[in-house]
Amino acid sequence: MLGQQIINGLMLGSVYAMVAVALTLSIGVLNFLNFSIPGLFMIAGMSTWALIHAGTPWPLAILAALAITTAVSLVVERFTWRWLRGAEHFVPLVSSMAFLLMFEHLAIAWWGSEMRVLPPLFAGTDWRIAGFVISLPQLAGLAVSLASIWGLSRLLKRTNLGRGLRTIAEDSDTALLLGIDVGRVVPIVFALAGLFAAIAGVLFALNYRQVQPFMGEAVGLKGISAMIVGGMGNTWGAIAGGLIIGIAEVLSVGYVGANFVDISVFGLLLLILFVRPTGLFAGLSAGRSGV
């Protein structure tokens, strides 16, 4: 029973990890907590449902949802960062929160506020190994999450774009002196963050088969918690934090009850912060694991 719960927690935690990485990209590179990311997560999930419901083959629906969400993230960059970067530091943050609220209410106006259910696209694909039940879509989702994050880490460490991102994260003024085109790189940060939020939203929709306009809020809080648990600005720490939060949530449901999930998860967050206020993996060098 415990082993099965841990497996389920890892699958759920992979979704939280993707959201945490999307948040980490923004705060690690731009020192900006992008509150629109839960809304982008919701857009990806609901777009997947809408396209499949309209008869689009699921592979095309997934690709379209990823493209739509990434494009919307670039719109957020245009009106939160590019236009408002000369304002007080809190103004882009507030405008990103306004985008979250706008996305949610546009979804209500377009699709309604009811819970929408996706068809069982992968029925009968569960594996039974050593007494454990492993859902193939969830396993594929975990693999996609880890592969995406590994690809991001390689991009950050081994490419000119990654070196530019890390230089901007250290000091944007120094980056300008070194000839890095900050105006070109920042939209890439938003596009990558939007893509990771979109992958998380699609995986959530396909695995749990339920979407609704406010689905991003709870996942966004868990993603922020995962980012804090792992250490602000640390990509691999965000992954570890997401997996820890996912396991804690599933174990709470299994052994304490669904009513105590948030108490357990956020209580764990407080406990970790009491023991290590900067997060579990804060202080590791960027070259090893950070942005």
Task: State pLDDT tens for residues 213-266.
Answer: 999 999 999 999 999 888 877 788 888 889 999 999 998 888 887 788 888 888
What is the per-residue pLDDT across 23-42, written as a single tens digit (0 to 9) for each? 988 887 777 889 999 999 99
Domain assignment present for 201: yes
d(C-alpha 140, C-alpha 207), whole Å? 10
Q: Per-residue pLDDT for 182 more than 60?
A: yes
Tokens (6 digits) for 290:
């950070």
> Taking residues 158-179, what's their average pLDDT?
72
Domain assignment present for 257: yes
d(C-alpha 248, C-alpha 22), whole Å? 21
H-only helix segments in the chain: 2-30, 37-53, 58-76, 90-111, 136-158, 160-170, 172-177, 182-208, 215-230, 235-255, 261-275
Domain assignment present for 78: yes
Q: Is 42 exposed, middle or buried (0-12, 13-18, 19+ CB in 10 A)?
A: buried
Domain assignment present for 38: yes
**Confidence grade of residue 289 (pLDDT, cut at 50, 70, 90):** very low
DSSP assignment letter at 34: -
State phi, psi for 183 to the nearest 5 degrees.
Answer: -65, -25
> How much is the pLDDT for 119?
87
Supply the range of the domain harboring residue 254.
2-112+132-275
Tell me what the pLDDT averaged over the chain comes to. Answer: 84
Tokens (6 digits) for 211:
């979407």
Q: Which of 47-56, 80-89, 282-291 has the lowest mean pLDDT?
A: 282-291
Beta bridge pairs of residue 134: 127
Helix (H, G, I), strand (E, B) or coil at 30: helix
**Residues with Cβ within 8 Å of residue 126, at least 6 apart in sequence:** 133, 134, 135, 136
Domain assignment present for 125: no
Closest by CA to 104, choosing from 36, 52, 203, is 36
Q: Which of 48-52, 73-77, 139-143, 168-172 has the lowest mean pLDDT?
A: 168-172
Domain assignment present for 164: yes
CATH code: domain of residue 39: 1.10.3470.10
Domain assignment present for 256: yes
d(C-alpha 42, C-alpha 164), whole Å? 30
Domain assignment present for 281: no
Longest dimension (CA), the chain: 59
Give the number of domains in the chain.
1
